[in-house]
């Protein structure tokens, strides 16, 4: 396994700031020792930088006081959940104070009749799901890290997951937020109704902003009724093009799958090695399809989805025979990302997205770039959204491969944009894609975004160096 990459200096905290922070928080919730701080200096991107201090706030008033303190001293402040993001979005590359919201983890209330759940930002996605399930409800975002990622983190990066194809991402499933801007202003956005058009939509603006505009402290989540039953189908295809064409057919018909996952040939073999799924050697691509609905109507849904999945290149189409078999299929899919680390020490995982109708072109183009640059690329992901995880694999000890992987990555991004796609479907920008944002967003629009950033965070203390490229001098 590769060593984490250090991406920031270890800067000493001024004594005057340390004294002020000690006045704001008790000793057990203010971490100044290097050994304690280090644990909050990295995330799942495998990058690390030392924060100057770590603050574990327990109340909104403490969050307010910390923001005011950092603004007074022009000290960076990086809000953090559990550090599960993969883009370096919570790595304190300029030092400063890491504000962990892990102590603000309460589910405050559930209102089943309103399909509403209010929680603090540090509540775990899994805890929210358990509370909602008591009332026959669920919250749509279900990232792979749902068992241990926080709601605040899910909102900061605009998380989705397999269910997003039918039920939407974080932006589609939040009614309102409470947050504190970098200016120190307390904000209450949105409303408690599913209809509401009074004022600007600051809720959707803050979701996906990676903590660069405001620190989210509380959320009112929109819940959905749990379906009565689900069915899992597995469709094996001759090659990736046949599978991509099937995705376009599936998304063009009325019965939307509740999940539609794509695995290319390499990913299929990894899944098979992880857990025997009975896949044959001639399987060049796989779709995992989940359907949900009522007991009375599920057969019709499965029939419609099966008809759309059938076509040229289909090798085998079968339904999971039991709940255990369905769980095995999903376990194999979720194991793919960590399994890839065993194939090559260097793994670049991109979560690009294109319109579903352009998915066959994306798959063809990525295969051509793999051959052109001599870089192995493994693709899998949320095909129903056109959101594919493109994994570029290389040996960091091979200088030629490291040059090739960068050129190949740039070519992948250009391909995605030429297909009217986006450079990130759900992982966010963080450090990884900041340099490429201007490839997707024109200068005039970026200028307006920088103006929004200044309005929310005039001193520029909130998570500097993330999400947007630096404004022109």
Residue 460 lies in a domain: no
Residue 29 has pLDDT above 80, yes or no: yes
Q: Are residues 152 and 209 in the same domain?
A: yes
- 219, exposed or middle or buried, with CB in 10 Å at 0-12, 13-18, 19+? buried
Q: Which of 130, 160, 133 is nearest to 145 (CA)?
A: 160
Give the model's pLDDT for residue 333: 73
The average pLDDT across 452-464 equals 98
Q: Is 37 helix (H, G, I), strand (E, B) or coil?
A: helix
Beta bridge partners of 77: 97, 462
pLDDT range class, residue 332, cuts 50, 70, 90: low
The average pLDDT across 440-467 equals 97
In the listed set 274, 300, 331, which residue is the last one of a domain according to the structure?
331
Q: Is 8 helix (H, G, I), strand (E, B) or coil?
A: coil
Q: Which of 244, 217, 445 is nearest to 359 (CA)?
A: 244
**Cα separations (Å) of 285 from 100, 280, 354, 375, 376?**
41, 11, 19, 19, 16
Instruction: Say how many domains are in the chain.
Output: 4
How do 229-237 and 285-293 pair as beta strands? Answer: antiparallel
Q: Are residues 205 and 288 in the same domain?
A: no
Give the model's pLDDT for residue 24: 97
pLDDT in tens, 159-217: 998 999 999 999 999 999 999 999 999 999 999 999 999 999 999 999 999 999 999 99
Q: Are residues 24 and 36 in the same domain?
A: yes
pLDDT in tens, 241-267: 999 999 999 999 999 999 999 999 988
406 is in which domain, residue-wise?
338-418
The average pLDDT across 43-67 equals 96
Q: What is the dihedral of CA 380, 149, 327, 309, to 10 degrees?
A: -40
Cβ-proximal residues to 189 (8 Å cutoff; 6+ apart), any chain:
176, 177, 178, 179, 201, 202, 203, 206
Q: Is 177 helix (H, G, I), strand (E, B) or coil?
A: strand
Q: Are residues 176 and 277 in the same domain?
A: no
In the listed set 373, 398, 418, which residue is the last one of a domain according to the structure?
418
- The 3-class secondary structure across 277-335, one letter per residue, is CCCCCCCCEEEEEEEEECCCCHHHHHHHHHHHHCCCCEEEEEECCCHHHHHHHHHHHHC
Cβ-proximal residues to 319 (8 Å cutoff; 6+ apart), any chain:
231, 232, 233, 234, 302
| pTM metric for this prediction | 0.93
Q: How much of the chain, in percent, has pLDDT values that exceed 90?
A: 82
Q: How far apart are CA 412 and CA 440, in angstroms?
A: 13
The average pLDDT across 54-77 equals 98
Report the Cα 407 to chain-centroid distance in Å: 25
pLDDT in tens, 281-316: 889 999 999 999 999 999 999 999 999 999 999 999
Structure letter (DSSP) for residue 342: T
Q: Are residues 217 and 292 in the same domain?
A: no
pLDDT range class, residue 277, cuts 50, 70, 90: confident
Residue 154 near residue 84 (C-beta atoms within 8 A) = no
Q: Which of 166, 150, 182 is nearest to 75 (CA)?
A: 182
Give the model's pLDDT for residue 157: 94
Q: Are residues 95 and 113 in the same domain?
A: no
Residue 53 near residue 32 (C-beta atoms within 8 A) = yes
pLDDT range class, residue 57, cuts 50, 70, 90: very high
Q: How far apart are CA 223 and CA 93, in angstroms?
A: 36
Residue 17 — φ and ψ, nearest 5°? -70, -40
Residue 3 has pLDDT above 70, yes or no: no
- The end-to-end CA distance of the chain, in Å, is 40
Q: Are residues 177 and 201 in the same domain?
A: yes
The average pLDDT across 8-34 equals 95
Q: Are residues 132 and 212 in the same domain?
A: yes
pLDDT in tens, 71-126: 999 999 999 999 999 899 999 999 999 999 999 999 999 999 999 999 999 999 99
pLDDT range class, residue 1, cuts 50, 70, 90: very low
Average model confidence (pLDDT) across the chain: 93
Size (the chain), residues: 473
Q: Is 22 helix (H, G, I), strand (E, B) or coil?
A: helix
Residue 275 has pLDDT above 80, yes or no: no
Q: Which of 399, 239, 407 is nearest to 312 (CA)?
A: 239
Q: Are residues 21 and 76 in the same domain?
A: yes
Q: Are residues 244 and 156 in the same domain?
A: no
CATH code assigned at 249 = 3.30.70.2190
Give the model's pLDDT for residue 327: 81
Q: Which two tokens stand for residue 353?
A: 């997205």
CATH code assigned at 182 = 3.30.465.10
Structure letter (DSSP) for residue 416: H
Q: Are residues 116 and 185 in the same domain?
A: yes
CATH code assigned at 10 = 3.30.43.10
pLDDT range class, residue 344, cuts 50, 70, 90: low
In the listed set 67, 100, 133, which residue is the last one of a domain according to the structure?
100
Structure letter (DSSP) for residue 226: P
Residue 464 lies in a domain: no
pLDDT in tens, 418-430: 999 999 999 999 9
- 93, exposed or middle or buried, with CB in 10 Å at 0-12, 13-18, 19+? buried
The average pLDDT across 12-18 equals 95
Identify the sign of the CA torsion 223, 187, 54, 170: positive
Give the model's pLDDT for residue 469: 95
């Amino acid at each position: 396994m590769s060593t984490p990459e250090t991406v920031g200096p270890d800067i000493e905290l001024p004594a005057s700031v340390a004294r002020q922070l000690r006045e704001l928080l008790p000793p057990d919730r203010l971490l100044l020792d290097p050994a304690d701080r280090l644990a909050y200096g990295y995330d799942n991107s495998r990058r690390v930088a030392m924060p100057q201090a770590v603050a574990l706030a327990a109340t909104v008033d403490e969050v307010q006081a910390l923001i005011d303190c950092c603004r007074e001293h022009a000290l960076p402040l990086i809000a953090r959940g559990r550090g599960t993001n993969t883009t370096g979005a919570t790595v304190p590359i300029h030092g400063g104070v890491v504000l962990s919201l892990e102590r603000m983890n309460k589910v405050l209330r559930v209102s089943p009749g309103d399909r509403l759940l209010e929680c603090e930002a540090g509540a775990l996605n899994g805890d929210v799901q358990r509370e909602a399930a008591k009332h026959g409800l669920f919250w749509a975002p279900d990232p792979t890290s749902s068992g241990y990622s926080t709601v605040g983190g899910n909102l900061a990066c605009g998380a989705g997951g397999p269910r997003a194809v039918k039920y939407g991402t974080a932006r589609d499933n939040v009614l309102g937020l409470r947050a504190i801007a970098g200016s120190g202003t307390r904000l209450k956005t949105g409303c408690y109704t599913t209809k509401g058009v009074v004022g600007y939509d600051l809720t959707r603006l803050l979701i996906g902003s990676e903590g660069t505009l405001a620190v989210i402290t509380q959320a009112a989540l929109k819940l959905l009724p749990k379906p009565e039953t689900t069915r899992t189908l597995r469709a094996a295809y001759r090659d990736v093009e046949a599978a991509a064409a099937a995705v376009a057919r599936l998304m063009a018909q009325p019965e939307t799958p509740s999940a539609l996952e794509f695995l290319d040939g390499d990913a299929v073999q990894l899944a098979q090695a992880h857990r025997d799924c009975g896949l044959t050697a001639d399987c060049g691509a796989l779709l995992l399809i989940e359907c949900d609905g009522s007991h009375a109507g599920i057969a019709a849904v499965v029939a419609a989805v099966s008809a759309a999945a059938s076509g040229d290149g289909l090798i085998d189409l079968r339904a999971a025979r039991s709940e255990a078999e369905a769980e095995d299929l999903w376990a194999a899919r979720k194991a793919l990302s960590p399994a890839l680390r065993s194939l090559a020490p260097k793994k670049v995982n991109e979560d690009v997205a294109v319109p579903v109708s352009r998915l066959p072109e994306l798959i063809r183009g990525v295969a051509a770039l793999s051959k052109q640059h001599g870089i192995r690329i493994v693709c899998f992901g949320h095909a129903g959204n056109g959101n594919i995880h493109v994994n570029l694999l290389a040996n960091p000890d091979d200088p030629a491969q490291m040059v090739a992987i960068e050129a190949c990555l740039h070519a992948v991004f250009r391909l995605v944009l030429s297909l009217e796609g986006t450079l990130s479907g759900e992982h966010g920008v963080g450090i990884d894609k900041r340099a490429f944002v201007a490839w997707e967003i024109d200068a005039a629009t970026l200028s307006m975004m920088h103006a929004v950033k200044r309005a929310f965070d005039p001193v520029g203390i909130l998570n500097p160096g993330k999400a947007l490229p630096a404004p022109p001098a």
